[in-house]
Amino acid sequence: MRNKRHLEVNVLGYRIERIQQFDSHGIVTTQWYEVLAPYSNDVLGHFAHRAEAERDIISRELAALPRHAAA
């Protein structure tokens, strides 16, 4: 089996790549999306759908925002 990576989009510095796995006849058997970290390109997660990968990035960025104490 062979894998092919394709850059789908850059979102806030993160990369979303589509990975397709092909059988010996060249037919796509499996497809998933990976979120790669900015700068290091470490894989942060695997997702069945691109929208899930995009939500993961937004969730990470929102979680990183500083929390201000309510007055």
Angle (CA) 65-38-46 rounded to 5° is 90
Q: Are 18 and 50 in contact, with CB atoms under 8 Å apart?
A: yes
Two structure tokens written together for 46 = 């695997």
Residue range 22-46: mean pLDDT, rounded: 96
Q: Give domain limits for the chain.
A: 2-64
Summarised one tens digit per residue, pLDDT across range 1-32 is 799 999 999 999 999 999 999 999 999 999 99
pLDDT of residue 25: 94
User: How many H-runs (helices) and E-runs (strands) does the chain carry?
Assistant: 1, 4
Output the pTM of the full model: 0.85
